[in-house]
Structure 1
Amino acid sequence: MSVLAQPIPIERPPARPIDAPPTAKYIEYANEVAARLAGKLSARERRRLEGERALLARARFIELNGVVHHYQDVGPLDGEPLLLIHGWDCSSFWWHHVVDPLAQAGYRVVSYDLKGHGFSDSDPRQDYTVAGFSADVQALSRALNLGPAHVAAFSLGAFIGLHVAAHQPDLVRSLIFFNFSLLPYNKFASQFVPRLLDTVFNGVLRPIERRNLWWLPFIYARLVMAQNTPSVGDIRLGTLGLRYCDPAAVRVSATELSRPEILAAVAEQAKTIQQPLLLVAGANDPIMRPADGRKLVALAPNGSFLEVPKCGHLILFELPEHVIQIMRLFLKGVR
């Protein structure tokens, strides 16, 4: 019997009428975790994998615009909805520190994997564009009857959240963006950066992760992207995104986000949104620079800005307690 033919060894939530079958990626990894937990492990590794099993146990699946997506729906169904959108080449597990504290505070917390990311299927049309991702968010919101939801988004996810707020304002109650800013267009960078990212992520980091050399991406993240050292468990969850991200998503998204019209649209969309917006910047973010974040917030009618000292681009893993506190305070003040 093949791995994918084996039964899923993790009990998941009761099925809903809208649920789709689990994806092959999910089944593969759920069985892998179960098999490893059945073997001999160090106490620390067992705790880490038991944590992952608990995350896997919450998995739900839904078809959106022809692609099966992995999502999780935690907290009271009648709570204020909070939708979490992860970043480029990441997964919904990047939000794992946030979900339970906000659910316990009474919010209905919905996190999901973008198509081609995490345990969501790849898009056969390779529509890994901001507009394509935005259409999926809109479909998810309506399928789950979220109504106007608070939207928290990280990095690439903020492009998507902003697009939804600008084009379907009835679906968005407020916005919290982490590590996001205006990105000035540079003709040279637009030609060079997408190829560089394709090489680094698809040609180097992804093969490294498949060989279980997760500590090499850890070193890269610590030296380049972060000011604080994430835990080993968080880095392993982060590199899980590398393992399952469709390589085409890296190429398509990186190319699109280097186009001048896409970058210019961010400023124009920011001018139109009426929802409360909080942009949280890492003071030492090498990608989304705080100064450009301030410029973006200045365009939004109801925008506010918070700069977190000694923080890089990976705030969700660097300073998760800060993220939780920031979100609680902001959401409490939204009327």
Structure 2
Amino acid sequence: MQLLLTSSSLPALQLPSAALAKARVRVAASAAASAPDGAGAAASGTSAGRFPVFLPQAVERIRDGAAVRLAKRIERVPVQTGFLESPILSSCVRPLKQQQDSDPVVLLHGFDSSCLEWRYTYPLLEEAGLEAWAVDILGWGFSDLETRPPCDVASKREHLYQFWKSYIKRPMVLVGPSLGAAVAIDFSINYPEAVSKMIFIGASVYSEGPKDMTRMPKFVSYAGVFILKSLPLRFLATRLAFNKVPTEFFDWVQIGRLHCLLPWWEDATVDFMIRGGYNVINQIKQVKHKCLILWGEDDGIISSKLGYRLHQELPDAILRQIRQCGHIPHVEKPREAVKHVLEFLARNKSKGSNRAPSVPSVPVNS
């Protein structure tokens, strides 16, 4: 099995014109704390200053300040799909207020991950004036999957579309890291009207999916998924994902593994893998949207050479690399990732100016 078991992957924004020139990302350690912890409490199962009740109890052991603050903003919203009679209570972090004069930014995540992947980048985007949504892909994250819905590619696609149709309702900038890039490509080809632009980060789009698992007995698949959840493998995968071992290493392992502790995680992951996973190789050249490709130069999971290949195959794309950075720039170097995102949006918002907000040097991960 290809080793892509990081907190972001396995087997992959328009600003108001006036705000764009003035926006400054002023995030310090306490910036994200301005979010009211009780927002949406009745619908999401949260209470002021506390974690949502649906999160695994292990969340109490997390010490990463940015992760704690974002976790307290996670809520569940009902999403009605065509493959279930009852709506799926779907986990996400939604903006404090919606805007009508700019495109919303919708942040996906990679294989076997969650919206907590955006713990450092989300507040930076919010402080820059963007309407940002962090959405858990069906089958991963913290949604209520007690009914065990199908978690194949078609179901993930429809679930995301129905989420967009119910809550976002306008063309969005779709951001996909690692396997999330394959999710974004598949979605944009099927629902082009829902997408305005796309941003890919360390894109896992050249894998043909876990074909071997489609022929395996289910008990073998469950055994493999059990290993996927194990701490030793998570430690190894986290180490491979970053250019340097972070001081928050153990905490990052716990954050990336948190959603695996939900009772339906194994069923949902096996269901996805035995159905073949994503294969978007033949869809890449069909993408018509403007795209930004971000890649860590020292990506140890997916070779940065594939970034050049993707750049050549996408009809309208720019490529930016981040030095001394591994597979997950939005975790390892969030300020640089946001800088490139803002520049991309500035370029496409106003052809007369390529200037973008500066990103501060203050820490965002405390």
Fold match, TM over 0.5?
yes
Distance in 2, Cα, partners of 1:85 & 1:181: 13
Distance in 1, Cα, partners of 2:167 & 2:268: 25
Find out whether 1:247 has 2:266 as its counterpart. Answer: yes
Partner of 2:330: 316
Distance in 2, Cα, partners of 1:224 & 1:85: 21
Query: TM-score by structure 2 length?
Result: 0.69
Question: What is the correspondence of 1:194-233 to structure 2 with a 5 Å cutoff?
Answer: 199=223, 202-208=225-231, 216=232, 219-230=235-246, 231-232=248-249, 233=251
Write the letter of the residue equivalent to 1:288. I
Distance in 2, Cα, partners of 1:177 & 1:89: 17
Question: What is the correspondence of 1:143-222 to structure 2 with a 5 Å cutoff?
Answer: 143-183=166-206, 185=208, 190-191=211-212, 199=223, 202-208=225-231, 216=232, 219-222=235-238
Q: Structure 1 pair 167/176, CA: closer, same or farther in 2 (3 Å)?
A: same
Partner of 1:60: 75
Listed as ranges, the gaps of 5+ residues in structure 2 are: 1-35, 82-86, 350-366
Query: TM-score by structure 1 length?
Result: 0.75
Partner of 1:132: 155
Write the letter of the residue equivalent to 1:72. V
Find out whether 1:302 has 2:316 as its counterpart. Answer: yes
Distance in 1, Cα, partners of 2:344 & 2:221: 34
Write the letter of the residue equivalent to 1:153. G
Shift of 1:176: 0.5
Shift of 1:144: 1.3
Shift of 1:206: 2.5
Distance in 1, Cα, partners of 2:136 & 2:233: 21
Find out whether 1:114 has 2:130 as its counterpart. Answer: no
Q: Structure 1 pair 70/194, CA: closer, same or farther in 2 (3 Å)?
A: farther
Shift of 1:123: 6.7
Shift of 1:30: 7.3
Listed as ranges, the gaps of 5+ residues in structure 1 are: 1-9, 37-44, 209-215
Partner of 1:13: 39
The answer to whether the 8 Å contact 1:72/1:110 transfers is yes
The answer to whether the 8 Å contact 1:234/1:317 transfers is no
Distance in 2, Cα, partners of 1:194 & 1:282: 34
Identity of aligned residues (%): 20
| Cα root mean square deviation, aligned | 3.3
Q: Structure 1 pair 278/115, CA: closer, same or farther in 2 (3 Å)?
A: same
> Comparing both structures, which one devotes a greater share of its residues to helix?
1
Write the letter of the residue equivalent to 2:185. L
The answer to whether the 8 Å contact 2:121/2:331 transfers is no
Write the letter of the residue equivalent to 1:251. V
**SS where residue 320 of structure 2 aligns?**
strand
Q: Structure 1 pair 297/32, CA: closer, same or farther in 2 (3 Å)?
A: closer
Give the number of the structure with larger relative contact order, counting CA–CA contacts within 8 Å between residues 6 or more apart: 2
Write the letter of the residue equivalent to 1:225. A
1:75-121 C-alpha deviation (Å, 9 max, x unpaired): 54115310000111110010111111111111110112222322212
Distance in 2, Cα, partners of 1:321 & 1:91: 20
The answer to whether the 8 Å contact 1:155/1:180 transfers is yes
